[in-house]
Structure 1
Amino acid sequence: MLDASQNATHPSNAPADHPTVKPEKVGILLANLGTPDHYSYWPMRRYLSEFLSDQRVIDYPAWKWQPLLQLIILTKRPFASGAAYKSIWNHEKNESPLMTITRDQTEKMAEAMQALYGDQVMVDFCMRYGNPSTHSKVEAMIAAGCRKILFVPLYPHYAGATSATANDAFFQALMKQTWQPAARTIEPYFDRPEYIDALARSVEEAYAKLDKKPDILVCSYHGMPKRYLMQGDPYHCQCQKTTRLLKERLGWADTDITTTFQSVFGPEEWLRPYTVEHVAELARQGKKNIAVIAPAFSADCIETLEEINEEICESFEHAGGDVFTYIPCLNDQATHIDALSQVIRDNLKGWLD
């Protein structure tokens, strides 16, 4: 994690009144979506207002969207979302599972990077929405002496509403700095062999614990309006490729695995098939034993722990399904940290070799 303990010194040959300068380091800043500070009404409202006001997420004109959001949606939605968060909340640490898992990932990544690069690097994390903010972490890294920062959105697949808006927040934070560091962002890693292998191993380990192999594996990705695909967003294609590569790595037939999309919001058509509807259709077709995995999420969160494991599971069972197995996200598993470490190492080339 971030370590700003090293003493600042005066540059050599500088006058006595020159500002002190920290020893130079490379910052590695992991970024995830975000989380409310609490599941009660006002923290939920602040979080949802920030999230749903992002035009990368909801691209309707502000004059049309904001009155609807502030006067109608945010009077009710914080209660429903708060109840969902409460059902999965880490009460011991008083934080959401996403916060707990992202911190654990960061600590393990810091250990991995320390083993490779020693004191030349520091690793920390931020959230696109809520706390800790991207701006606060960029500011802290610069203050600690980071003259280069690698920004790592924890999204395997690129989408305007995920990777792009995280990068937006990063570059906006840099705009406020007097002395900007050199900056890089990573490419999406949805088809990297290490990532596919980590996914495959998680499936193999989950299946090995079951009495009977599921009839099908449902790869449920977070959805987006179909219009975004038509406008050129590559997310849909990248999700399809991940499923295909996972199928090939597992040595399965096409009928053993399928791609769906969840978390539909608003009146327009989103990417199909919708997970909540498709699992019910599978049950009606006689596939009574299914497993679900969420490859687009690097950490378990409200969309996996509550939506998949509760809402989508209920849809399957109500349609006649018998056995529903949710395979957790890669979280802080060693295979995931190793895969991300390789992505980071590749992107540090030329800075640290």
Structure 2
Amino acid sequence: MVAMNTEAKSLLFILVTIIAIGLVVLYSASYITAFKWPYPSFDYYLKRQTFAILVGLVAMLITSLIDYRVHRKYVLHYYMIVFALLVIALAFPGKGGSRRWIDLGYFDLQPSELTKLLIIIFVAHYAEKQKKYMKTFIKGFMIPVAFIGFLLFFVFIEPDLSTTIYLIFLFLIMLYIGGARDIYILSMIGLGVLTLFIAYKFELLRDYQIERIKNFVDIVTGNGKNVWHQTSSSIHAIKNGGILGLGLGFGELKYYIPVQFSDFVFAVLGEELGFVGISGLLVLYILMVRQMLKAAFESIKDDFGRMIIVGYAFMVLLQVTINISVVLGILPITGLTLPFISYGGSSILVFLAGYGLVLSTITHQ
């Protein structure tokens, strides 16, 4: 068994601290909702989240013990597995108009979450293997775009526009880290923005997607009459928390925020722990990302390992930024979770498995 060094131990400490904060805030945010029919138990969501965390920790242990270099051999196998799961998800009955989950009984698996790790491993391997061709248009850009774009099509038709956009940005970040030309990446971003604008303008998106964008536009323009209750309540909750917060369990506005224990759990944290609590959590995320980047550029000897760590660090940073921006009304509602905090089994499982991959990369040097 490989011994953990100081870098790995510090990352574990940060992770455990964030998870502990998450469980406490999750219980405070969810116990009233959990007691309502059909879940007559104050700790219903807490139990399910704890179960997901335990499964995730097992996955983290496994991925941390396996030498990260082994994954080079199985990239295409992982690709086919994720592809198969995305197709299977489309065959299951939908929830809220979307077919994103595979019902496993006590646990719903969301294959699009697995796509995050696949993108990191796939591009890291491809960029290392094709290093001298990464500046070219075909091998350095179009081939990886074709492979990943094929998978993202299935995420898009679930439908899950916000996750698709998130995955595109994660993919482009990985391409940039891998050495692809800036002009190709910027051109793809420009094309994506233009496509989204046209789809919105001509109402090619689904009704709820159009409403989310309109809600965001109303916030930006100051037109409060059409701003969603969910967004306005989350903003008021954070303001209500002030500097020190109202205290754990004493939040007042959390009862009026839909899915307050999932996508909008940051608002509950802000109201109950205040600016101090928000700042503390953000510092932990920053320390996590900083420690990963420091390890990637100072301790990792190969491009594959370095790209895995940097990619995962940006995977966390990107999702934290988007989730908090949504809660603050800076971005349209996306449905993306706050890593290690929000209720969501697939998200917890994937982020912890990825964390194990980072630990493996650091310890197997």
TM over 0.5: no
**TM-score where L is the length of structure 2:** 0.28
Q: Which has the larger radius of gyration?
A: 1
**TM-score where L is the length of structure 1:** 0.28
Considering fraction of residues, name the structure with more strand: 1
Considering fraction of residues, name the structure with more helix: 2
Q: Which has the higher contact order (CA 8 A, sep 6+)?
A: 2
